[in-house]
A and B are shown apart, each in its own frame.
Chain A
Amino acid sequence: VKIVPFAEEHLDAAAGMLAAQHSRHREAEPLLPSEVDFRGEIEALWRKDGASGAFSEDGYVLATRLDELWGPNAWVELAGHAVTDAELVRDLYAFAAERWVEEGRTRHYVYVPASDPALVDAWFRVGFGAQHAFGIRELDLPDPSIPDGVKVRLAERGDLEQLVEIGPVLNEHQAASPVFSTARAWTEEEIREDIEGDFGNDELANLVAEIDGRVVGNFVVVPIEMSGAHSGLARAPGLAHLGFAAVLPEARGSGADLALTAASFAWARERGYPAMVTDWRVTNLLSSRFWPKRGFRTSFLRLYRSIP
């Protein structure tokens, strides 16, 4: 296989390969977008800071760089690779990673279509483990039943301090084993400001679950266009995005999460959304079990390898 450094002249050919890969992906997951500017997606990556990669007649891998919160990194985004034969991705990665590691970029992230087990396995066999999942589902499915004793409603200004209390819960859970996330913890002030900014915005649903008059859980549903992560190949226009979901540790198992999920689906359905996306850490035992049971099908996996 002749592999060369990715260059401007490869954009058109890479776009063709990405279109073919996405078409296969859509056969497995029809909710993914049908109209994608593949060349535009790859070109946008190619123009980014730290872009470099590998190209051959049958595939390409192209990484960019995110900020240092992710360590000295190389990110292979949603449009960052396509191959006609899964095994080839190992050769392309070998070629591209040599430069990344020479540059000191030793933390490697890649988004992979989850419907292609051979491709996921090929990345697994160059040392990558599962880190994050994108999920998608229709909204014309039966909702989870709402358990007795849990009341769900839209948040009000009077809930602000209780919401500020719930705000850090997800990060705290994910900083612990087995996720060990190093995501920066928001300050109380940042959380308060973020929540206050959402009040009065009719485009989103800030839902709370109450048990015995106390707010114990908070889900936020927004248009997918407000999501930074669900973009490009993962963004079919007009879908809803479940962007935040947290329940206080002491209320887990109470059914508050089921009630909030049902309310999120109902809110989105009433506004005409046909489907919803969300995402979760695969290493988060609670969420990685909860969301698939709520009907979300994994559309993309983010895999991770650290060297060493």
Chain B
Amino acid sequence: MRIVPFAKEHLEPAAELLEERHRRNREAEPLLPAEVDFRAEVEALWEKDGASGVFANDGYLLGTRLDESWGPNVWIELAGHAVRRAEDVRDLYAAAAAHWVEEGRTRHYVLVPAEADLVDAWFRLGFGQQQAHGFQEVPSETEVVVPDGFEIRPPDPSDLEELVDVDLALPRHQAQSPVFSTILRDSREESREEWLKTFADTDEEILIGYRGSRPVACWSIVAADKSRHYHGLGLPAKACYLAFAVTLPEARGSGIGVALTDACFARARELGYEAMVTDWRVTNLLASRFWPKRGFRTTFLRLYRSIP
């Protein structure tokens, strides 16, 4: 296989390779969009800071850079690679990563469609699972069964401090084993400011699970195209994004999470959404068991490798 550094002249053939991959992915997951400007997807990555990669006749790989909160990184976004044979991605990565590591970029992230042989090829390059993105249809009707002693309603500004507690429960959970996330928002002040902004004006639909008068869980949905995760070939038509979901430790197992999920489906249907997407840390034991049981099909995975 002849591998060369990715260059502008490769945008067109790369777009064709991406289109082929996406066609296969749509057979497995029909909610993936039919209309995608593949060249624009690849070109947008190519124009980004730190973009570099490799190209061969049957595949390409293109990494960009996110901010330093992700460490000295390379990000291979959803449109950042396509191959005709899964095994070829190992050669492409080998060629591209030599350059990235020389630049000191030793934390590598890749978004991979959930094709078994492609995921396996990345596994055999030392990548482990980090994040999953799941899709499903919004049911035409959803019965919401709220457990005894609970109530679901929008947030009440007078509950600000309790809502801050709920908000901080997710980053605190994910900072622990086995997630060990370093993406922390555990400042009460920051959370309080976020809530105040939300009360003033928000695009989100927020539902709070109250036990008695105390908020113990928070779920929210928003138009999927408002999220940085869902765009282009990863954005289903008429989709909302279940963007936030957390239950305080003492209310886990009560059934309020299932009720809030169902309430989000019901609300999404009222708002005219036909699909719902969400994401979770695969290393978060609670979330990675909860969401697939709620019907979300893993559509793409974010894999991670640190060198060393």
Contacts and interface: CB of A to CB of B under 8 A. Distances in A.
A181 to B, nearest CB: 8
A129 B178 contact: no
Contacts of A308: 71, 107, 180, 182, 306
Interface residues on chain B, size class: 20 to 34
Contacts of B128: 124, 126-129, 303, 305
Interface stretch (B162-170, B231-239, B270-278, B281-289): B281-289
Interface of A: 71, 90-91, 93-95, 97-98, 101, 107, 124-131, 176-178, 180, 182, 282-283, 285, 288, 303-308
B95 interface: yes
Nearest to A99: B177
Interface in B247-290: 282-283, 285, 288
A129 B283 contact: no
Contact of A124 (B71, B123, B180): B123
A4 to B, nearest CB: 15
Interface string B62-86: 0000000001000000000000000
A98 B177 contact: yes
Contact of B177 (A71, A94, A177, A282): A94
Contact of A307 (B94, B126, B180): B180
Contacts of B282: 125-127
Given A90-B178, A306-B308, A283 B98 contact: no
B interface SS class: mixed
A178 B125 contact: yes
A176 B98 contact: yes
A125 B289 CA distance: 11
A100 B94 CA distance: 31
Interface in B280-305: 282-283, 285, 288, 303-305
A116 to B, nearest CB: 15
B304 A178 contact: no
Contacts of B180: 97, 101, 307-308
A24 to B, nearest CB: 22
B308 A107 contact: yes
B130 interface: yes
A171 to B, nearest CB: 15
B94 A177 contact: yes
A125 B129 contact: yes
Contacts of B130: 127
Nearest to A131: B126
Given A90-B178, A94-B177, A306-B306, 12 more contacts: A90-B285, A125-B288, A127-B178, A127-B282, A129-B126, A129-B128, A178-B94, A180-B101, A283-B126, A308-B71, A308-B107, A308-B306
A75 B254 CA distance: 37
A95 B177 contact: yes
Contacts of B127: 129
Contacts of B122: 129
A285 B129 contact: no
* Residue with the highest number of chain A CB atoms closer than 10 Å, among B94, B176, B283: B283
Interface string B212-255: 00000000000000000000000000000000000000000000
Contact of B283 (A71, A101, A125, A180): A125
* Residue with the highest number of chain A CB atoms closer than 10 Å, among B122, B128, B305: B128
6 contacts: A97-B178, A124-B123, A126-B282, A178-B125, A285-B94, A304-B126
B129 A283 contact: no
Given A177-B94, A180-B308, A288 B178 contact: no
Nearest to B98: A177
B124 interface: yes
Nearest to A128: B128
Which 3 A-B pairs give the minimum distances between C-beta atoms? A177-B98, A98-B177, A306-B306
Interface in B169-209: 176-178, 180, 182
A285 B95 contact: no
B90 interface: yes
B308 A127 contact: no
A130 to B, nearest CB: 5
Contact of B126 (A91, A126, A178): A178
Contacts of B182: 308
A96 to B, nearest CB: 8
Given A177-B101, A178-B93, A180-B307, A282 B126 contact: yes
B19 interface: no
A126 B122 CA distance: 15
Nearest to B91: A285
B56 interface: no
